[in-house]
Amino acid sequence: RSSLRWWHRFLLSGECFYRREKKPLIVEWTDSSGARCGGCDVNPDVGWVSAWTAEWPKWIRDKYSHGASNYKELRTLLVSLQRQEAAFDTDGHCAHFGTVKLCFTDNKFVADVLANGASSSSDMGPILRAIRTVCIKLRIRLIVCHVAGKRLVEQGTDGLSRDGGPSPAGEKLLTANWADALAGAAPSGVIVDFVSAVFGGGRQIALGDRPLRMGELAGKRWLAFPAPWSASYWGDAAKMAATMDLDTDIVFVIPSRAESQWARSFRRIHKIGFVRAGTSPLWRLGEHESLNFYWLPRYRVRPPSEDRYFWKHADDVSSLHRMAAVLSPSPVTSAVSRFVRELASVQAATSDDDDVG
């Protein structure tokens, strides 16, 4: 009810409606700890960098002394926006007005609730509404992306939330490689061979820089490497292609970057497994985030003899149980088993090479 009252005020004023037009990009990293919070902004077009750090007020440290990292991370984002709001109220303009703000955080909860637009927590709801209020006032389109915490450590923002970290001048902050946090996986020979062993070979390779239409995907076997920023389109297009042609068979290889922006589109696509960075030659340690393998197999109509519902409600239960014991597992279950087996084989081969060296 409080959310409806909040929206009612903006709907009457018309403030939340503005033209969809090309806007400047602002890239931001935010992080928090038990005692401090901090952030770093960069304009890729102009090249300016600004950073800030602040200590949490005593009432926040006392009330959320144990845990509450989700609350502090979400409030850090609000603090960053309120700094721009204060500049706008004082000078009539701010560097973030009318921009697309791409914010990287290592807290998945923050990315999820801002993508969903709501939270059941009584502490988080007011912060979410305050964030939306500032975004509407400053005409900011906010996109929050979850990345690995090690990426923030390497980039330097993690130190802004801790004593002894980079100074607000930003001389130690790495801001030139922000696009790496949204990059897709490269179709290396090791990954292609691994996919062929698990899902079968003979697949065409599709790269994320050129999203294919559903008609191009339909009825073919694909190995796709979508970029996180376009993965939601790939997921929706793949499901529609499978509806157009039941022989559509697509394997997706995609890093766990900005997952809140595309996870909804992959809900009905099977996640077969993942590889953590640095644990296999498939995915090096410097990539930070995990590498996911999704599969949309060709549709197979099961005969009545494989109908498990029929077995359960049939008369001769004992004989049907014997039939169930000899049936082969589903294609997805078999793929999961092959994935685990092949991944262990690759890791074992790597360790053997290290021992020989």
* Residue from 171, 173, 170, 168 nearest 52 by CA: 168
Would you put residue 217 in left (φ > 0), alpha (ψ -120 to 50) or beta? alpha
CB 225 within 8 A of CB 208: yes
User: Rounded CA gap, 93 and 222, in Å?
Assistant: 49
Residue carrying the six token digits 């330097």: 156
User: Rounded CA gap, 81 and 84, in Å?
Assistant: 5
Q: What is the mean pLDDT of residues 190-214?
A: 90
What pLDDT is attached to residue 356?
Answer: 39
Q: What is the mean pLDDT of residues 41-64?
A: 84
Q: What is the token pair recorded at 305?
A: 């003899």
Place 35 in a pLDDT band, splitting at 50, 70 and 90.
confident
User: Rounded CA gap, 166 and 202, in Å?
Assistant: 50
User: Rounded CA gap, 19 and 21, in Å?
Assistant: 6
Q: Which one-letter amino acid corresponds to residue 328?
A: S
Q: What is the token pair recorded at 277?
A: 């960075």
Most confident of 84-93, 289-298, 327-336: 289-298
Evaluate the CA torsion angle 4, 10, 12, 18 in order and state its sign: negative
Contacts of 33 (CB under 8 A, 6+ apart): 72, 161, 162
| Tens digits of residue pLDDT in 87-118 | 998 888 888 888 899 999 999 999 999 988 87
Q: Where are the beta strands (DSSP E) in 96-245?
A: 100-105, 141-146, 204-207, 221-225
| pLDDT over 60 at 1, yes or no | no
CB 96 within 8 A of CB 84: yes
What pLDDT is attached to residue 191?
Answer: 94
More confident residue, 3 or 149: 149
Place 310 in a pLDDT band, splitting at 50, 70 and 90.
low
Helix (H) or strand (E) holding 73: helix 69-91
What pLDDT is attached to residue 169?
Answer: 43
DSSP-based three-state secondary structure for 102? strand
User: Rounded CA gap, 346 and 344, in Å?
Assistant: 5
Average pLDDT, the chain: 83
Q: Identify any residues that bridge with 273 across adjacent strands, giving them in sequence order.
A: 293
CB 333 within 8 A of CB 327: no
Place 155 in a pLDDT band, splitting at 50, 70 and 90.
confident
Strands 25-32 and 36-42: antiparallel
Q: What is the mean pLDDT of residues 51-76?
A: 84
pTM, two decimal places: 0.84
Q: Terminus-to-terminus CA distance in the chain, angstroms?
A: 65
Place 322 in a pLDDT band, splitting at 50, 70 and 90.
low
Asked which of 48-57, 263-272, 301-310 is least confident by mean pLDDT, the reply is 301-310
Place 296 in a pLDDT band, splitting at 50, 70 and 90.
very high
